[in-house]
A and B are shown apart, each in its own frame.
Chain A
């Protein structure tokens, strides 16, 4: 199958979160960047697994400036055939989706896979927007995907249960836990990644519908109230009478 995987660059999960320029920008100073875990562990690995069974190609696409290139090379090291970078500073979900949809249109991708959200903006919106712009079906937060005879069988968690769905290809999915297991790139993969294509595609026009104007760190938590282990039962009493949450 010809599969497109949406890869985004995010700060490492342990990165210190701070803001600059009057709290209008993320402070990237000293921050290590990684591929968004959902994109890497679930979307990319499942794409590779499906093609290991049936043949095909996996292209990753990222909207970002040149400095994301070292991060997205990791997708090639894990096994993608080609990486594409759309040359624009990501501002908003709709802008990113419009750029990706414009790139993907008419290229014949049978599957487009995203992570369920990024761990920085937590929007979970780009996959659905790409699907709408390309007029394709979309299933968010899929935990299982199999493809046979041009048809996909998908599972996803819904409140109180699990939905089993069927859809014809082409199809757009966002992927969540259960979809695949993380793969650590090996030396051969890392070497091969150096010679695999990383193509840069210019950005076309976008709508520009939303922007983040200000960030704020949450107020510091008050000190923890400690209860003696011998009188552990008091915790229940405090949660009931003082915090009033049970």
Chain B
């Protein structure tokens, strides 16, 4: 049975999450004996190279330039119909969230948002209660939509070249128009970062963020912060991680002067490795940490920066 994978291919190279979604779709298709049809939009060239990640065929709607949920849903549903696919794979990110729920509603299909692994006996694992637990969702409908959580499946790239076909059918009018895309400043976008250096109220004031930024720069990390820090405008709001901010799952999360309140942990507990620097040995964050330093951030940070610079110089 073919699997349809709806992916974003905008930008100078294939987004990591899109390569992961194709790999994921490939694994499902292999288990069921079928092909992967990638569906995308926009101007990206060299789409045949998506075959490397598992696509047999790529269908691209060139006339859709931005994420319009209605047009893209019509596109994905049309391809799902014509290819007879029972499974539609999307990515659980800003693009996928505009399309996947709509496709599910249109196809009367069960949707698994934030799928972590391929289905086992029709059941798909996902995080619930803001990372405090996991659940298995059974889809009982004829078709299903699985939105893959970024960073859950390692992208493979050993496939060949895919055939590319342009979709020229009518997708109806766009419901939203994109007026402007403001590029964020330099630095690594938080949700995509492999390493995150984060700091909290223990830093005492915005004027003390220099060493935090320096450590992040040296490690090639993004910066993040706790909620009160963003609320007091010490740091920009998009850096706020936690239950009510951004949920992230980097390989390495370094938390400095953050107590580790349950609402903070909810946004970072999916990190692979957590290192905590806090002067209070009783700080709850140590219970969730892999590595810890009980000490004053203002004394520890210069040592970390020095060691990080040494490491980078050696590499």
Contacts and interface: CB of A to CB of B under 8 A. Distances in A.
Partners in one complex: yes
Interface of A: 11, 13-14, 17, 19, 37-38, 41, 92-94, 97-98, 119-133, 135-141, 153-154, 156-168, 171, 174, 177-178, 207-218, 221-222, 224-229, 231-240, 243, 245-246
Given A159-B191, A221-B288, A93 B138 contact: no
B253 to A, nearest CB: 9
Given A165-B177, A215-B134, A229-B296, A177 B237 contact: yes
Contact of A246 (B73, B109, B195, B293): B195
B129 A119 contact: yes
A92 B134 CA distance: 16
A10 to B, nearest CB: 9
Contact of A218 (B66, B97, B114, B132): B132
Given A124-B101, A153-B179, A233-B310, 18 more contacts: A122-B114, A122-B129, A123-B111, A124-B97, A129-B101, A135-B70, A159-B94, A159-B192, A161-B181, A162-B184, A163-B180, A177-B244, A213-B138, A224-B289, A226-B294, A235-B293, A236-B304, A240-B311
B182 interface: yes
A140 B129 contact: no
A139 B176 contact: yes
Nearest to B112: A210
Q: State the majority secondary structure of interface residues on B.
A: mixed
B130 interface: yes
B313 to A, nearest CB: 12
Contacts of A162: 181-182, 184
A19 B67 CA distance: 39
Contacts of A211: 137-138, 140
Given A210-B139, A239-B273, A216 B133 contact: yes
B113 interface: yes
Interface in B20-63: none
Interface residues of B, number: 99
A93 B139 contact: no
A137 B70 contact: yes
Interface of B: 15, 66-70, 73, 92-95, 97-106, 108-114, 123, 126-141, 144, 175-184, 189, 191-192, 194-195, 219, 237-238, 240, 243-245, 251-252, 262-263, 266, 269, 272-273, 275-277, 286-296, 299-300, 303-304, 306-308, 310-311
Contacts of B219: 246
Contacts of B290: 221-222, 224-225, 243
A156 B94 CA distance: 9
A159 B127 contact: no
A136 B175 contact: yes
A165 B178 contact: yes
A71 B293 CA distance: 42
